[in-house]
Amino acid sequence: MNRRTKSEDAKSEEMVLGPSVSLPSLLDKGRQPDSTFRQLLYDISVVSTLLESAREYLAGRLGVTSPQYNIVMVVARSGGDGVSVSDVATRLNVTGAFVTNEVKKLVKGDLIVKKTNPDDGRGVLLSLTPSGYAKVRALEPDLLMVNNRLFGTLSKADFHDLARIMGSLIGVFGQTVAVLKALTTESEKAERSSVDRLESEKRKK
């Protein structure tokens, strides 16, 4: 029979990590209370990667990148009157500048056309070109196949719960990433300041 020594037990205890989250609603009972939470994060990461791969396939059928595919599909579902750049940006949770830059490429590729907004005479509305419309229509069988296979196991209740939960997470995820970017910027500034100070001290010597 294998018996662990006291030193081995002590070493094992030293290597036990604390939970990665402290909110009671996200914790289980037991020695690893954040086990379900961590598995959820792994699962979300895998699902995100696989979903992106599926969308890259659809984007490839249109001859565009995945972000451009998202823009094309928002425009395609907006109706014949077109949709503004700001509305597309809001729908996709990206900046207007990003949409504007990608739209330039889609216009050049004859998928999207820009028209003056009749409501203000200054802004533009985006809509599909005849060629873009034909390509999106031709993609519909593949689109149905992919989405039905990806989400076919969900019940109606599961689907609406998932949509609600994902929608509720976008805002706080975005805020958290903004904080992380700010912290990174401050850290980089502090590091540059430290390097400059050291170089200045070396020159004085």
Q: What is the pLDDT, as a whole number, of residue 126?
A: 96
Give pLDDT, residue 190. Answer: 78
Using alpha carbons, select from 58, 20, 50, 49 the residue that is nearest to residue 36: 20
pLDDT at residue 81, rounded to an integer: 83
Please name the residues in contact with 26: beta carbons below 8 A apart, sequence gap of 6 or more: 34, 36, 37
Q: Which two tokens stand for residue 166?
A: 């994902």
Nearest-angstrom CA–CA distance, 141 and 22: 45
DSSP 38-73: HHHHHHHHHHHHHHHHHHHHHHHHHTS-HHHHHHHH
Reported as half-sphere exposure (CB side, CA atoms, 13 A), residue 87 has a value of: 15
For residue 155, what pLDDT is reported?
98
Strands (E), the chain: 83-84, 112-116, 124-128
Identify the pLDDT of residue 187.
81
- Spell out the per-residue pLDDT of the chain, length 205, in tens: 566 666 555 555 667 788 899 999 999 988 889 999 999 999 999 999 999 999 999 999 999 999 999 999 999 998 778 999 999 999 999 999 999 999 999 999 999 999 988 877 678 999 999 999 999 999 999 999 999 999 999 999 999 999 999 999 999 998 999 999 999 988 877 777 776 676 666 666 6
pTM for this structure? Answer: 0.78
Write down the pLDDT at residue 15.
72
